[in-house]
Chain A
């Protein structure tokens, strides 16, 4: 993706510090140094003042973006809220590293997010957008073909690592009810594909893609740029609630691989599970064995609410979306 720096002249004038550009106050984006965060930043900073909060450095950040290298759990986060007239918070800073220790993972995701919510309430932030995931529903053999937003979040039944994300989603839901003065939006996108380095994109980047023999579930995928667009829609004043976000029409996993033109090896489930478990313990793979359920059972969402209420519809075709995993990685 090329990113024109339109506001270069304008950016030169700005210094690090609290000031408002465009409409109203600033937008805090947590996890801005992730690939999705960077893309959101590049779109958002054209119209709004963006404050990035991430403990990682942000070397190639646009000049008019303020970056605070802060751990969400630290008191310093409060200073970010105190200093700037914060109008909205976009929470992307969810750690999903199955290799990280469970304690660190949990504390980062849950304690960090709880702090963020606390300050958002204290400083009367008008909008919070949380990027959850359709994975919170979990792939199950008895899933309806399209899960609505009211479906119980059972993703943790077989895949424990997702429980943090479910808790984050739940925290956001309770915040939604407790603080009606804040517009809370929870987005649950399906598998995000693109230059991002998440499990589905990494899976499709394998030179030979293993599949499970006799299983070919229907899948939904969405282009990262469409997710950014959905976040932008969610930032519009007046929008609140939980929204499933899906990309183009669903298709079988085998068709995804056909679009990519990748060879695949079908492996019987029991063999595959054993192999992945062994490889996982030898650190040869980044996929934990329970994630195999995603290429075994359906976990698709009904995105009618996002289409009607949020006014979101994906722009990328299925071919573009799938092929985006091979695009040059910047």
Chain B
């Protein structure tokens, strides 16, 4: 059995604890007044619509006040407010065909772009702000993100889960909406010359859809590729930092351009597609079905790009 800590260390820790205890009420007071101010500002910026949607969005909480995946409604509120602001004010997203998203379990399959996963957040914002009734969407997050401090914490509290099939299956069985980027991290770090050209799709989402009998809604997101312009990818550095990619983004060196460029986003939701068959079929058979989805998204992308009149307006 483990041995208890020796006395001296205990007192040192206790003393530190005492100091923390004195600081805590002051900090808490500051925090509550700031959150109050933020709440007011949020309501003004987003209007009553946001509030009413927040009260209508279904969240599955357990007796501990969070959901089993770690989603905390307090965090979700601010996260949704932030992405809703980005969605409405910063990127001024135009959403087309959101009524195509069926009720109940659904897999949203989208192209991935933009170096940082803002596209995922904006699809989530569209599902919350534009879908009727409002829905809380989950995304499958790269494992790598879960090794990062703060990032892993944030993703977990706002209900985003590690991208493994077991999690996806569990969520779909709970009739949730799940976003998957089958391109994975290869998609998000595309260089500018390859913008809007889909890279290879993973097959996992198709097996999942067949196994859980889930309709697939193809989603095309336009505008993300121009927010950060990547001119290359240094693989050796990516390997060194254990990152999925190390893009070269010249604009980051220009003061004030660290934020993504405020391009106008266009989002197209296609008609739901259903696939049947054996989830454990050969890769070649699954690949054919995946190709249908990929081709649909590429067509939607091409059409959307043709219709786009300006990058920023």
Using CB atoms and an 8 Å cutoff, list the residues of chain A in contact with chain B. Answer: 34, 96-99, 141-146, 148, 197-199, 202, 205-208, 212-218, 248-252, 255, 262-265, 268-269, 279, 284-287, 297, 317-318
CA distance A106 to B170 in the complex (A): 38
Contacts of B305 in A (CB 8 A): none
Interface presence of B192 (CB below 8 A): no
Contacts of A286 in B (CB 8 A): 2-5
Contacts of A285 in B (CB 8 A): 5, 9
B5 touches A97 (CB 8 A): no
Interface string of B221-260 (1 = CB under 8 A from A): 0000000000000000000000000000000000000000
Nearest CB of A to B251, in Å: 27
A206 touches B13 (CB 8 A): yes
A-B contact pairs, 17 of them (CB 8 A): A97-B1, A97-B2, A142-B143, A142-B146, A142-B162, A144-B164, A144-B167, A202-B4, A206-B5, A208-B13, A214-B151, A249-B64, A255-B64, A263-B21, A268-B149, A284-B6, A286-B2
Given A97-B2, A143-B162, A216-B156, A207 and B170 contact (CB-CB distance below 8 Å): no
B14 touches A207 (CB 8 A): yes
A197 touches B149 (CB 8 A): no
Contacts of A214 in B (CB 8 A): 148-153
Flag the segment in B68-76, B81-89, B126-134 that touches A.
B68-76
B24 touches A145 (CB 8 A): no
Interface of A is mostly: loop
Interface presence of B66 (CB below 8 A): yes
B149 touches A215 (CB 8 A): yes
CA distance A220 to B170 in the complex (A): 18
B66 touches A252 (CB 8 A): yes
CA distance A111 to B62 in the complex (A): 43
Nearest CB of B to A21, in Å: 30
Nearest CB of B to A25, in Å: 30
Interface residue count on the B side (C-beta < 8 Å):
43
CA distance A37 to B70 in the complex (A): 33
Nearest CB of A to B129, in Å: 27
A34 touches B1 (CB 8 A): yes
Nearest CB of B to A190, in Å: 13
A96 touches B143 (CB 8 A): no
Given A144-B164, A286-B3, A255 and B66 contact (CB-CB distance below 8 Å): yes
CA distance A197 to B5 in the complex (A): 12
Identify the interface centre among B2, B21, B24: most chain A CB within 10 Å of its CB: B2
Nearest CB of B to A330, in Å: 15
Which residue in A99, A143, A213, A218 is a CB contact (below 8 Å) of B70? Answer: A218
Contacts of A199 in B (CB 8 A): 2
Considering the complex, give the chain B residue whose CB is closest to the CB of A144: B166
Given A141-B152, A146-B68, A268-B149, A249 and B1 contact (CB-CB distance below 8 Å): no
CA distance A262 to B18 in the complex (A): 10
Interface presence of B97 (CB below 8 A): no
Contacts of B289 in A (CB 8 A): none
Contacts of A202 in B (CB 8 A): 2, 4
Interface string of B30-72 (1 = CB under 8 A from A): 0000000000000000000000000000000011111011101
Using CB atoms and an 8 Å cutoff, list the residues of chain B in contact with chain A. Answer: 1-6, 9-10, 13-14, 16-17, 20-21, 24, 62-66, 68-70, 72, 143-144, 146-153, 156-157, 161-162, 164-167, 170
CA distance A249 to B65 in the complex (A): 10
Which residue in B3, B14, B66, B162 is a CB contact (below 8 Å) of A99? Answer: B3
Given A146-B170, A206-B13, A263-B24, A141 and B143 contact (CB-CB distance below 8 Å): yes
Contacts of B17 in A (CB 8 A): 207-208, 262-263
Given contacts A98-B2, A205-B4, 20 further A-B contacts (CB under 8 A): A141-B143, A142-B146, A144-B164, A144-B165, A145-B161, A145-B170, A197-B2, A199-B2, A206-B13, A207-B10, A207-B14, A214-B150, A214-B151, A216-B157, A251-B65, A252-B70, A255-B64, A263-B20, A263-B24, A265-B20
A145 touches B13 (CB 8 A): no
Contacts of B20 in A (CB 8 A): 208, 263-265
Considering the complex, give the chain B residue whose CB is closest to the CB of A207: B14
B66 touches A198 (CB 8 A): no
Contacts of A217 in B (CB 8 A): 70, 156
B167 touches A141 (CB 8 A): no
CA distance A206 to B1 in the complex (A): 16
Given A34-B1, A206-B5, A145 and B152 contact (CB-CB distance below 8 Å): no
Nearest CB of A to B222, in Å: 31
Contacts of B63 in A (CB 8 A): 248-249, 317-318
Contacts of A143 in B (CB 8 A): 162, 164
CA distance A148 to B14 in the complex (A): 39
Nearest CB of B to A308, in Å: 15
CA distance A279 to B1 in the complex (A): 18
CA distance A201 to B116 in the complex (A): 40
CA distance A146 to B17 in the complex (A): 34
A318 touches B64 (CB 8 A): yes
Nearest CB of A to B8, in Å: 9
B149 touches A213 (CB 8 A): yes
Nearest CB of B to A152, in Å: 13
Nearest CB of A to B86, in Å: 23
Contacts of A141 in B (CB 8 A): 143-144, 146-147, 152, 162
Contacts of B170 in A (CB 8 A): 145-146
